[in-house]
Structure 1
Amino acid sequence: MVLLLLLLVSLSFGKVFYAKWDDAVSPIMLEYVKRNIAEAEKEGGSLFVLELNTPGGLETSMRQIIQEFQRTPLPVVVYVYPPGGRAASAGAIITVSADVAVMAPGTNIGAAHPVQVGGERMEEAVKEKALQDMLAFVRSIAKEKGRNQEVLERMVKESISLTPDEALKDGVIDLIAVDRADLLQKLDGRKVKKHGKEIVIRTSGVAVIDVQESLRESFLRVITNPTVAYMLLLIGFYGIFFELYNPGSIIPGAVGVVSLLLGLYGLGIIGINWLGLLLILAGILLLVLELVTPTFGGLAIAGVIALAIGSLVLISPDSPYGDIPVSVIATMVFATAFFFLVAGRLGLKAQKRKKMTGYEELIGEEGEAITDFKGGKGKVFIKGEIWNAISQDDIKKEDKVLVEEVRGLTLYVRKVR
């Protein structure tokens, strides 16, 4: 009877849906949050918790995530965790927009000044416009959630960052929780206002559902890693180049096109410096020109330099997605130069070589006469075999001969002078 009563109480309180995000704020995070909030609503959830650790990210994704928080009838908790983690930039604004904002000891929040992802410089007028727009946005959040407007504005204008104790003291967050168990305990019985109603959060004895990333979301997170996207881009060029110089291979071309598209998609989400991409394209073009019209290394050197500089500036150092390690860039630049100049040259040489089958492969081969030619006829030794041969030259035994034609089992040769 007691167990049945506890079950009924648990069901009446619904379920806590617990999500985790440890990456940049991006369209993938938006999809993850949106899907799981919808799932929580469908499955009778009573609370949605987002455990967050992020360096920030795209403003457009941030705003849409906050819109999801505002739309759902479920109370939303954002918990900055683990210790050493952070809710920076867009992540800070997502945190303070939650119905309950919580931080773990050893974390930090703030540094929300708007920046242009991609490496381009913002004009002063555009920068000021973006700043004022963001300030208005955080003022509206502060008013709705009862947070300290002045401190939130300083996060945006001055890029200040706060510890959990400072954030709690200044009215930026609501709670400090050591871990998940502590968080759920402190949330139990807490009241929040949402859509004009007062909601009492119940977490004691309530089922906690850990939500996972979908296969699609996991895959998209992989290809939006700057290093992976960069390597996919270059692999795409390799495959397409190989297909163009070896028509009909199919597989290299297909792999190249798919890799190039995935790389461009990932880099598009990350935000890139387009000058860097153009330099990479120019570098590869110069390497190809060196391959087909040798200039004794001039174009190759220029191509390697353009490729290296383009790779270094491709991702902005301010990008929340991180940058491409110099060791990876050096390895890929060397591999690209090797591929186009060495492997590519061998491929071209093989392609240009005259294709022959059967006895015709003897054309152009050198051998040795093993008899004197009489009446234009004699025997020659070529590639380990003795052949009947005909020649218009006066050939003596041990003279070197060159095969010019093959007719049946007879070779037509001339004397190597």
Structure 2
Amino acid sequence: MLNRISDNMRVAALIAALLLVPLVPWPAALSAAQDAPQPHIALLSIDGAIGPATTDYLERTLAEAGTNGARLVVIHIDTPGGLDAATRDIIQHILAAEVPVATYVYPSGARAASAGTYILYASQIAAMAPATTLGAATPVQIGGMPGAGEPPPEKKAGQGDEDSKKSPANKPAPQSGSGSAMERKITNDAVAFIRGLAKRNGRNADWAERAVREAATLTADEALQQNVIDLVAKNDADLLRQLAGRKVALESGSVTLPTDLAALPLRAYVPDWRNKLLALITNPQVAYILLLIGIYGLIFEGYSPGALVPGITGVICLLLALYALQLLPINYAGLALIVVGALLIVAELFVPSFGALGIGGVIALVIGSVMLIDSDVPGMQISKGLIGAIAGVSGLGLLGLLWAVGRSLRKPRIASDQAMVGRTAVVMELQGDDVLVHLGGEIWQARCDQRVQPGDRVKVIAQEGLALRITPE
């Protein structure tokens, strides 16, 4: 009786425990509390040429940092420049950000050249580390900005701005009348854009214009003296210490940074797998290789239907290449030349032109490859070494093809009804007076005046239509 009561009590206790489980703050609830927005400093990084992948990374991380409770976004930047469309997209996101953005040229020896200068001017806070540079913001296109007295793309790190000694820093540079109308149009548009950014954040607009028209550059100390940046900091801790309690103007209104800014934790936002994949396929070298693989894959699938592997590989690579190319500044004439060149090289396999089609295809492929990416931005061009390697492989393949064709032409002609005479076959099966032999991957019907057994090697001595006459080897 007592045992039965004890068992009932255990069951009742178990039921009560199960009912109380949802009310207990278990690790899941604790994890949810930890995932709640926490004040921190968001740390982002731009390293290398600015392209579509950079835009995607900054767009998502700026929104994520705001949602996670970031009080300040610090962008470490070290770039030689980038694409104009990607730069303008990044600037739009920075201007519309709900969290103050500090662009910091870091570490020592880094630079914010060309597109980096625009991003620095657009940020609510502009900072540089010692021994860093910015400037050289002249827009470039394919072949650069031709014209008499064209300035160099950039100056060496640590080199002073020679032009600033010849004319006052606050004097705008005269507009050059050299260059085509399109070049002047692009330059004037860039000047208006960067001057607007400078006035919005209270920075030196006249030097910004000189950076565009004359490719002027400054070191960190010179930039601070000429009101191009807000401060010079040795590292992140020094940057946060100087920014503590600073008032920053955002699109939505003024914001005062916390006085204990340096005490907030730093949280690095790194690119995810999607951004890494986008950065890989939008690399001009990779996009170029994918394009060629796609074109050749589809061509060979068309010449050998049912192979499947060339066709499937070609479709996947071609779709990836087209997605990447629509994000990059491409020249469609160059793309057309690459397609025509590949078609001519493959046509040499089937049309006896004695090298004319193949040579023309290699020439078209090389010229199209040089023209494909319509930009002079560092890191956004197809390597000449890669183009040379593709041309060399295509040329060697063409020479091998011509050698094989020449060798076949030197062989003696054999009538089609005597092509099997003299070859060796293997007996497979006996069918009365007839014998089935295996020859050249095919099964032939043959006759033999002597006795043979399956597995014997025989020699073809005559071909009579679709039948062979054989003799033991």
Normalising by the smaller structure, the TM-score range is 0.7 to 0.9
Structure 2 residue 421 is the aligned partner of structure 1 residue 366: yes
Partner in structure 1 of residue 379 of structure 2: 321
Q: Is the 8 A contact 1:49 1:77 kept in 2?
A: yes
Structure 2 residue 257 is the aligned partner of structure 1 residue 200: yes
Distance 1:322 1:107, change over 3 A: farther
Aligned length: 372
Q: Match for 2:295: what amino acid? A: F
Distance 1:41 1:367, change over 3 A: same
Partner in structure 2 of residue 374 of structure 1: none
CA–CA distance in structure 1, aligned partners of residues 284 and 183 of structure 2 = 26
Q: Is the 8 A contact 2:337 2:367 kept in 1?
A: yes
* SS of residue paired to 2:43: strand
Structure 2 residue 348 is the aligned partner of structure 1 residue 290: yes
Q: Match for 1:20: what amino acid? A: S
Partner in structure 2 of residue 169 of structure 1: 225
Shift of 1:213: 0.7
Structure 2 residue 330 is the aligned partner of structure 1 residue 272: yes
5 Å-filtered alignment, 1:366-405, equals 366-367=421-422, 388-389=447-448, 401-405=461-465
Partner deviation per Cα, 1:70-113 (whole Å, 9 max, x = no partner): 22221110011233322122221111111111112232211212
Structure 2 residue 203 is the aligned partner of structure 1 residue 153: no
Shift of 1:220: 0.9
TM-score by length of 1: 0.78
Q: Is the 8 A contact 2:108 2:130 kept in 1?
A: yes
Shift of 1:413: 4.3
CA–CA distance in structure 2, aligned partners of residues 331 and 273 of structure 1 = 21
Shift of 1:19: 0.7
Partner in structure 2 of residue 221 of structure 1: 279
Shift of 1:327: 2.6
Q: Match for 1:402: what amino acid? A: A
Distance 1:61 1:330, change over 3 A: closer
Shift of 1:293: 0.8
Distance 1:368 1:245, change over 3 A: closer
* SS of residue paired to 1:49: strand
Shift of 1:221: 0.6
Shift of 1:341: 7.4
Partner in structure 2 of residue 4 of structure 1: none
* SS of residue paired to 2:261: coil
5 Å-filtered alignment, 1:256-271, equals 256-271=314-329
Distance 1:296 1:35, change over 3 A: same
Q: Is the 8 A contact 2:72 2:99 kept in 1?
A: yes
Partner of residue 65 from structure 2, selected from 4, 17, 40? 40
Partner in structure 2 of residue 394 of structure 1: none
Shift of 1:133: 2.5
Q: Is the 8 A contact 2:355 2:398 kept in 1?
A: no
Q: Match for 1:231: what amino acid? A: I
Shift of 1:261: 2.3
5 Å-filtered alignment, 1:54-203, equals 54-116=79-141, 124-194=180-250, 195-201=252-258, 202-203=260-261
Q: Match for 2:367: what amino acid? A: I
Distance 1:368 1:125, change over 3 A: closer
Shift of 1:364: 4.2
Q: Match for 1:171: what amino acid? A: N
Partner deviation per Cα, 1:212-270 (whole Å, 9 max, x = no partner): 11211111111121211111111112211221122112222111122122223323333
Q: Match for 2:420: what amino acid? A: E
Q: Where do 5+ consecutive residues of structure 2 fail to align? A: 1-35, 148-178, 405-416, 425-432, 450-457
Q: Is the 8 A contact 1:367 1:382 kept in 2?
A: no
Structure 2 residue 17 is the aligned partner of structure 1 residue 15: no
CA–CA distance in structure 2, aligned partners of residues 368 and 44 of structure 1 = 82
310-319 or 137-146, larger mean C-alpha shift: 310-319
Partner in structure 2 of residue 359 of structure 1: none
Q: Match for 2:348: what amino acid? A: E
RMSD: 3.7
Q: Is the 8 A contact 1:405 1:413 kept in 2?
A: no
Distance 1:399 1:57, change over 3 A: closer
Q: Is the 8 A contact 1:15 1:207 kept in 2?
A: yes
CA–CA distance in structure 1, aligned partners of residues 276 and 459 of structure 2 = 71
% identical equivalent positions:
40
Q: Is the 8 A contact 2:281 2:324 kept in 1?
A: yes
Q: Match for 1:241: what amino acid? A: I
Distance 1:247 1:387, change over 3 A: closer
Q: Where do 5+ consecutive residues of structure 1 fail to align? A: 1-10, 347-361, 370-376, 391-397
Q: Match for 1:335: what amino acid? A: V
Q: Is the 8 A contact 1:378 1:389 kept in 2?
A: yes
Q: Is the 8 A contact 2:37 2:67 kept in 1?
A: no
Q: Match for 1:153: what amino acid? A: E
Q: Match for 1:222: what amino acid? A: L
Partner in structure 2 of residue 49 of structure 1: 74
Distance 1:33 1:382, change over 3 A: closer
CA–CA distance in structure 2, aligned partners of residues 186 and 401 of structure 1 = 98
CA–CA distance in structure 1, aligned partners of residues 434 and 105 of structure 2 = 92
* SS of residue paired to 2:82: coil
